[in-house]
């Protein structure tokens, strides 16, 4: 069963990619990240859109040595 896609926009999404540490949008489907990038790249998205209003998104599993609270406050 295919579930609705959800696009999160206007966020500060930590990617863990050393070349591009943050994105501002991502698409989730069936609990998995399907796409991550800049919301300007997406045209005509017809499913659910959630505005993060500038909030940060961090991975659910993160290296304990990264101090998640410090990472969440880092700009």
This model's pTM is above 0.85: no
Q: Which long-range contacts (C-beta less than 8 Å, at least 24 apart) are formed by 30-36? A: 30/2, 30/3, 34/5
pLDDT in tens, 1-43: 567 899 999 999 988 788 888 999 999 998 899 999 999 998 8
Q: Where are the domains of the chain?
A: 6-73
Structure tokens at 29: 């489907």
Task: Please indicate whether residue 47 or residue 2 has the higher confidence score (pLDDT).
Answer: 47
pLDDT in tens, 52-62: 999 988 777 65
Under CATH, what is the fold of the domain 6-73? Urease, subunit C; domain 1 (2.30.40)
Spatial distance between the Cα atoms of 19 and 16, rounded to a whole number of angstroms: 9
């Amino acid at each position: 069963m295919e579930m609705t896609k959800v696009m999160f926009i206007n966020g500060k999404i930590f990617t863990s990619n050393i070349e591009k540490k943050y994105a501002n949008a991502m698409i989730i489907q069936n609990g998995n990240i399907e796409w991550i990038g800049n919301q300007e790249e997406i045209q005509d998205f017809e499913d659910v859109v959630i505005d993060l209003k500038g909030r940060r998104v961090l991975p659910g599993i993160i290296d304990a040595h990264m101090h998640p609270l410090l990472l969440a406050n880092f700009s």
